[in-house]
Structure 1
Amino acid sequence: MALRLYSALGKRTGHEQALPRPAEERVGAPSMPRTLDMPAEVRESGPRAIDQNAEGGLRALVAADPSFDVAQFVDGAKSAYRMILEAFWKGDRETLTWLVEDEVRDTFVAAIDAREAEGHVVENRLVSIERASISNIEIDGRVARVTVRFDADIAMVTRDADGNVISGSMSDAVETHDVWEFSRDLKSGDPNWKLSDTDEA
């Protein structure tokens, strides 16, 4: 998949709605450590934790890494989704460095640089993650790639250097649909999964 970066890292459907409860209440937003360590048991967090067409890839991944756990991975991916979005919106380059692969980081930083050069400030907020599920799993040599689809509601506001609203509203949420790929070298001692690609669903 080609890396594609959107102003909110999401696809706007045109459907806006009143804000539901904050994401902190609905998703739990556990603080994510710098690693997505997986316990040994293989289990799922519900019928939508992994799509049926990813089950073959799951078997191959578990064979290569018996510690992989679907539910823990999806929970970690939700936390990573939140942290990466917030880091991008805030222009937090350091956080992006340890959460995403270099190529993705370079793209994010270029977008942040362009935004800052224009004097624009985003005040986006992840309101809720309605759904997160593994849609594909591949093993390429020693590298595992797990693709997760996120359906979320995001409040989006962009202001100019004078604080004037250019676009968006904090009183409405926009439906977004993202497909993010996380990867990890299975032979490495580093247990971290990093964002290696983004696309829209």
Structure 2
Amino acid sequence: MGDSSGLIEIVVLAMLAGFIALRLVSVLGRRTGHEEPAGEIVRRTPAEQQTPPRAGSYDLPPAAPLELPADMSPALKESLTAIAAADPTFDPARFTEGAKAAYRMVLEAFWKGDAEALRDLVSDEIADQFAEAIAARKAEGLTLENRLVSLEKVEIVAAQLRGAMAEVSLRFDADLVAVTRDKAGNVVSGSLSDAVQSHDIWTFSRHTGAADPNWLLIDTDEDA
């Protein structure tokens, strides 16, 4: 969802600094999850994600005010502002752009059955879930012929800063072509001509003091 160096400030696209190697993941564009919420979602990087302290012997200039949608809730604005205060490289707009790229990358890797590539993009728990799903698919002789037609809307819907751990959730409204074929190549589900709507919530997390700018996908769910 491999260094994936091209998409992370939300993970390695440098979304968070560049969000350019984003490590995300989602199962079929709808569900996958896991992360490192301040105290437990950071399984992939023990020791608080190898968090070398930020050089704090000098004062940084105050960060510029975040540009946030006028209709965003005060609580969400407050949470994003807190994250930006803890990590001056965080920019919600760039983060969202990185998330869009990550969404496509992760889905395509899963659809292709590239479990190893996914393992470099997500938490261990999610990687295991993907690997199991891919293995089960192969055992049944099934292949996916899926395609992301369009991302209609992507927006940040929740955020929180727990200690040094930042978590940001986004809602993805997308149109997908989802087709499953059997061993003989026959379509057993889906349609190549009709797109289906997908509404997902993906949550990313990062230790704000870590040298690594990557965000880790920690949870994904379907939304109504």
TM bucket (normalised to shorter chain) is 0.7 to 0.9
Residue 123 of structure 1 is matched in structure 2 by: 145
CA distance in 2, matches of 1:157, 1:150: 20
Instruction: State the Cα deviation string for residues 132-175 of structure 1 (Å, max 9, x = none).
Output: 00011111222111000000000010000110100011111001
Cα drift, residue 92 of structure 1? 1.1
CA distance in 2, matches of 1:135, 1:197: 14
CA distance in 1, matches of 2:150, 2:91: 23
Matched-pair identity in %: 51
Q: Which runs of 4+ in 1 moved over 4 A?
A: 39-48, 50-53
* Rg comparison, structure with higher value: 2
CA distance in 1, matches of 2:65, 2:145: 38
Q: Which runs of 5+ in 1 are unaligned?
A: 1-30
Cα drift, residue 73 of structure 1? 0.2
Residue 195 of structure 2 is matched in structure 1 by: 173
CA distance in 2, matches of 1:155, 1:47: 34
CA distance in 1, matches of 2:133, 2:214: 25
Does 1:32 find its partner at 2:7?
A: yes
Q: Which runs of 5+ in 2 are unaligned?
A: 1-5, 19-62
Instruction: State the Cα deviation string for residues 3-62 of structure 1 (Å, max 9, x = none).
Output: xxxxxxxxxxxxxxxxxxxxxxxxxxxx536343337766548668x6654212111101
CA distance in 2, matches of 1:123, 1:64: 42
Q: Which amino acid aligns with 1:178?
A: D
Residue 220 of structure 2 is matched in structure 1 by: 198
The structure that is strand-richer by fraction is 1
Q: Which amino acid aligns with 1:32?
A: L
TM-score, L = length of structure 1: 0.78
Q: Which amino acid aligns with 1:158?
A: T
Q: How many residue pairs get matched?
A: 170
CA distance in 2, matches of 1:42, 1:89: 40
Q: Which amino acid aligns with 2:80?
A: L
Does 1:147 find its partner at 2:126?
A: no
Cα drift, residue 97 of structure 1? 1.7
| Contact 1:42–1:69 under 8 Å retained in 2 | no
Cα drift, residue 94 of structure 1? 2.4
Instruction: State the Cα deviation string for residues 86-116 of structure 1 (Å, max 9, x = none).
Output: 1111111222122211111111111111111
| Contact 1:88–1:108 under 8 Å retained in 2 | yes
Residue 98 of structure 1 is matched in structure 2 by: 120
* SS state at 2:170 partner: strand
Q: 1:80 aligns with which of 82, 99, 102?
A: 102
| CA-based RMSD | 2.1
